[in-house]
Structure 1
Amino acid sequence: MPINSSQDSGVTGAAKFVTSTVGNTVGGVTRTVGGVAGAATRGVGDTINSATGSAGKPVGDALGSAGTGAEDGAKRVARGVEDAGQWR
C-alpha cells in the first residue's frame, strides 16, 4: 500500500501520526520500567540466595521468578500499546 494513500491523509493521517508517536513512547517507557523492575527484583532474589544459602533459596527463587514475570508482562503491555498506536 502506498504511503500517501487516501487512508493516511488529512485528519486520519494526523491521528495515526500522533497515536503512533504516543504509543511508541509509552510502549518504550513501559518496557524500560518493566526491565528495570524485573532486573532489580531478580537481583534481590540472587542476593537473598547468596546471603542465606539453602535456607533462603525458596524466597530468593520466588522473587527472581516474580521479577521475570513482571518484566514479561511489561513487555506484553508495551507491545499492545505500540500496536494500538499503529492502529493494529
Structure 2
Amino acid sequence: MPIGEDKRSGVSGGVTAVTSTVGNGVGGLLGTVGDVTGAAGRGLGDTVTGVTGSYGKPAGDALHSLGDGVEGGTNKIARGVEDAGKGKKGW
C-alpha cells in the first residue's frame, strides 16, 4: 500500500506502510506453509489408504482430515496476520 493512499501522514503513515508490508509477508509465508502441510497430510493419508486398503482407511482418513484442518487453521491465522498488518480488527 503506497503511503500516499493512506489518510495518515508522517510517522503514522510510515509505520502503517511497514506493518502492512510485514503483515503481508508473514501472512503469505504462513499461508504457504499451511498449504504445503495440508497437501502433505492429504497425500500421506491417501497413500496410507491406498497401500493398506480397508484396514488402513481409518488412519488414512484421519491423516487426510488432519491435513485439511492444519491448512484451514493456518490460513485463518495468515489472514488474521495480514489484516492486523493493515490495521483491521478481526473481532
- What TM-score do you get using the length of structure 2 for normalisation? 0.90
- Unpaired segments of 5 or more residues in structure 1? none
The 5 Å alignment of 1:24-35 reads 24-35=24-35
Cα deviations across residues 22-79 of structure 1 (Å, max 9, x unaligned)?
Answer: 0000000000000000000100000000000000000000000000000000100000
Q: Partners in 1 of 2:52 and 2:5 — Cα distance?
A: 59
Give the structure 1 partner of residue 81 of structure 2: 81
User: How do residues 1-88 of structure 1 correspond to structure 2 at under 5 angstroms?
Assistant: 3=5, 5=7, 8-88=8-88
Counterparts in 2 of 1:4 and 1:43: CA distance versus 1, 3 Å: closer
**What is the number of residues matched between the two proteins?**
85
Runs (4 or more) in structure 1 with deviation over 6 Å come to none
Identical pairs, percent: 58
Q: What root-mean-square deviation, in Å, do the aligned CA atoms of Structure 1 and Structure 2 show?
A: 1.2
Give the 3 Å change call, closer, same or farther, for CA 62–82 of structure 1 in structure 2. same
Q: For structure 2, list consecutive stretches of 5 or more residues without a partner in the other structure.
A: none
**2:16 is matched by which residue type in structure 1?**
K
The one of the two structures with greater contact order (alpha-carbon pairs below 8 A, sep at least 6) is 1
Partners of 1:4 and 1:26 lie apart in 2 by 21
Name the aligned partner's letter for residue 77 of structure 1.
Answer: I
Alpha-carbon separation, structure 1, partners of 2:62 and 2:78: 24
User: Amino acid of the residue matched to residue 48 of structure 1?
Assistant: V
